[in-house]
Amino acid sequence: MKISIIGAGSSYTPELFEKLATVKETLPVKEITLMDTDPKRLETVASFCCRYANYLKMDVKIEATTDLDKALYGSTFINTQIRVGGNEQRIKDEKIPLSMGILGQETTGPGGFMKALRTIPAIMNIGEAMRRNAPDSWMINYTNPTGIIAQAMHDYMPDVKCAALCSGGIQKTWDTANVLGVSPKDIQYDIFGLNHMHYVYNITVKGRPLTQEEFEKAAAQENPALQEISIKLGALLSGYMSYYYNRKGTVEYLQNSPKTRGETVMELEKEIYKDFANPEFEQKPPSLQKRGGGGYSDVAIGVMDAICNNKNTWHVINVPNKGVFKFLPDNAVIETAVIVNAHGIKPIVAEPPPKAAWGLIALAKNYEVLTAEAAVTGCYDTALLALTHHPLVGDYDVAKELLNKMLEANKGMTKIGKIT
């Protein structure tokens, strides 16, 4: 079995090796190809991963290349974790909206919108290469904004098999299991919403519903800004929901912060890559723990294992609605509970979500569909409509000014045509 990692210069790559080493009996990977457009980063990460794989006693051939077709040829699974424009563009995505009093977060706010416009064409280019070199393979996507990317792939490249993942969807299994003192495998639930914008409800432990006391214990683990509304809704919320339910306080906090998250990550990565380049490091360096955002390898390898070995495993993935929630179109990609096996990914019929959630999710989904269309077609007017209908913008004149500023800062990096 061959696995390809596209965007392998990412600091997250060693996590995949770590998890693969624990499942080598069920996922007998013999070849891993690392591909990135940045040769220096690729060389640094590949060199470290070779040392790390040796430390983990992995019997695997590791190759590194900047050639996409070569990387994909003959692969079973293709892990995509790219960042078009790097952290330099991420920082612009964060700062430009904040200068106008709007959240600039890289997946949830207009920053995520801009990232989608840059990233979707690149992901679809990978999809085209999959058609040429590995037509039966699966794209295992962790590139953000993963929900909007999934929408674009399902709308415009439905023949390319794509599992759009995020560890946030199963985070509540870990958190709830921890507070109740049980195994994460004992926790299941219905989940309604979009990536980084979901509601977890109808929670069970060992097959029985949580008591109110248990639910409130679980809610106490939430972002402090969300605990009270979580209890009133009867649902646990994605931590990113504070951007919607506490937007004024969140924007003020970010405007007063000395650095954006992108600036912080850029500084951290200088230390991480310096450690990767140190031949004395054979294990993950301590600096990597500061990066955050971990846990994705558990989900990615779990999905690959379920597909490869027909395991009928419960996961949370971004998939087309297909009638699960009647008030959304069938082709609307949602983040929901699914069963994964060799036949693919099938969403599970869910109980109705909290009524208060319906409108916000429908509005955000409308924005996501328009964003995917704009990224693929390059239509300025569609991009403007998308940003206007973003729940954190909601004003045509503001959206137009913001869009023009962000496009100016991203010249030549999207398909969007002439500003009108």
Q: Please give the Cα distance from 96 to 113 (Å, whole number).
A: 12
Per-residue pLDDT tens digits for 76-119: 999 999 999 999 999 999 999 999 999 988 898 999 999 999 99
Q: Which of 8, 317, 7 lies closest to 147, judged by CA?
A: 317
Active site residues: 240
Phi then psi dihedrals of residue 91, to 5 deg: -65, -40
**What's the pLDDT score for residue 289?**
83
Inside any domain, residue 305: no
**What's the pLDDT score for residue 293?**
62
Judged against a pLDDT cut of 70, whether residue 237 lies above it is answered with: yes
Q: Please give the Cα distance from 367 to 373 (Å, whole number).
A: 10
Inside any domain, residue 24: yes
Could you tell me the pTM of the whole model?
Answer: 0.96
Count of domains forming the chain: 1
Inside any domain, residue 219: no
Tokens describing residue 334: 């949602």
* CATH assignment of the domain containing 274: 3.40.50.720
φ/ψ region of 35 (left if φ > 0, alpha if ψ in -120 to 50, else beta) reads: beta
**What's the pLDDT score for residue 262?**
95
Per-residue pLDDT tens digits for 172-194: 999 999 999 999 999 999 999 99
Inside any domain, residue 365: no
For the chain, what percent of residues have pLDDT higher than 70?
99
Q: Please give the Cα distance from 285 to 283 (Å, whole number).
A: 6
Judged against a pLDDT cut of 80, whether residue 215 lies above it is answered with: yes
Q: Please give the Cα distance from 140 to 315 (Å, whole number).
A: 13
Inside any domain, residue 357: no
Q: Please give the Cα distance from 280 to 48 (Å, whole number).
A: 10
Using CA atoms, how far residue 281 sits from 43, 275, 288, 297, in Å, is 15, 7, 12, 21
Q: Please give the Cα distance from 93 to 96 (Å, whole number).
A: 6
For residues 171 and 294, which has the higher predicted lDDT (pLDDT)? 171
Parallel, antiparallel, or unpaired: how do β-strands 187-194 and 236-237 relate?
Answer: unpaired
Inside any domain, residue 117: yes
Per-residue pLDDT tens digits for 33-53: 999 999 999 999 999 999 999
Inside any domain, residue 370: no
Following DSSP, what letter does each residue of 327-357 receive, concatenated?
TS-TT-EEEEEEEEETTEEEEPP-PPPPGGG
Q: List, in sequence order, every beta strand (DSSP E) within 234-300.
A: 236-237
Q: Are 116 and 375 in contact (CB under 8 A)?
A: yes
Q: Are 191 and 198 in contact (CB under 8 A)?
A: yes
Q: Which of 51, 50, 37, 30 lies closest to 9, judged by CA?
A: 37
Q: Are 246 and 18 in contact (CB under 8 A)?
A: no
Domain holding 140, by residue range, is 2-166+261-291
Q: Are 41 and 277 in contact (CB under 8 A)?
A: no
Q: Are 265 and 287 in contact (CB under 8 A)?
A: no
Mean pLDDT of the chain: 95
At 214, the pLDDT band (50, 70, 90 cuts) reads very high
Judged against a pLDDT cut of 90, whether residue 291 lies above it is answered with: no
Using CA atoms, how far residue 300 sits from 140, 221, 308, in Å, is 7, 25, 12
**What's the pLDDT score for residue 212?**
97
Per-residue pLDDT tens digits for 305-355: 999 999 999 999 999 999 999 999 999 999 999 999 999 999 999 999 999
- Tell me the CB-side half-sphere exposure of residue 24, using CA atoms within 13 A: 13
Inside any domain, residue 284: yes
